[in-house]
Homo-oligomer: A and B are copies of this chain.
Amino acid sequence: MKKEVPHSGWRLKLHEVIYGTHTTAGKVFDIVLLVVIVYSIIIVMLESVPRIDVKYHAFLNISEWIVTILFTIEYILRIICINRPSKYIFSFFGVIDLLSTIPKYLSYLVVGSQYIVAFRALRLLRVFRILKLVRFVGESNNLLRALRASRTKIFVFVFFVLIISVLLGTIMYLVEGPEHGFNSIPHSVYWTIVTLTTVGYGDISPETGFGQVIATLIMIIGYGIIAVPTGIVSAEYSAQRKKGQVTPPKLADGEACTDCGSEVLRADAKYCRKCGHKLSEK
């Protein structure tokens, strides 16, 4: 049985500020948060540049501490102001938020752990909510459906590409051999994928005549088969677009479920689409 604790006044308010975007305070909170996220990513990037780190180490270190503390407070507040925190903690954004917060603490315990900050980039996905990009997402629903419909076909395609790469990579290893930079089969398969996807670094390139003939073949295959995923996505998207020409539902203006913190997408929703909690009437 669900416990339906009515929110106390301050928690409801906090919830509106942190999870909602339909009040002024909510909007300000989200914009400030976005700025802090971008700032935190820039700090991490700059810390990795030796020239800059040497010069501004103290400043960057303090900045990092400030960001970490802000993220910690935000994380705690997010947990406090909903009824069922576990729903948030184990949601996609909950995990990302935690991973964005802890690296500074962990860096004193585990060497190299400060690099989990990489996941902070994923926090930027929140920008879609903040900039009212819910509308955008709504618009790209057809696209998402098309991608989902294409999924198995593209998986099969990638699998074929990998099998072909192992086959052609082994052949190239035999033809060129270690004396021309194709040191081993895995290395040779790597080169094949570099060529097949038309990336072409040039760190290794065939030197024998026969090797260049095979390379040519691989390039033309790669050039040709890129048509396959594109063709799939085009056709599926085109089909979804035709199907999807019904009036899109009216969107909610930035509320969130008070129980699990999930966003409310449709204006006419009566229950949270994630946890089934009854939403408050407006």
Q: Which residues of A contact B (CB under 8 A)?
A: 41, 44-45, 48-50, 112, 115, 117-119, 121-122, 124-125, 127-128, 133, 136-137, 139-140, 143, 146-147, 152-159, 161, 163, 166-167, 170-171, 173-174, 178, 183-190, 193-203, 205, 209, 212-213, 215-216, 219-220, 222-224, 226-239, 241
Contacts and interface: CB of A to CB of B under 8 A. Distances in A.
Contacts of A209: 186
B233 A220 contact: no
Copies in the complex: 4
A44 B199 contact: no
B232 A158 contact: no
A167 B48 contact: no
Contacts of A235: 234, 237-238, 241
A48 B186 contact: yes
Nearest to A201: B202
A245 to B, nearest CB: 9
A140 to B, nearest CB: 5
A230 B227 contact: yes
B241 A237 contact: no
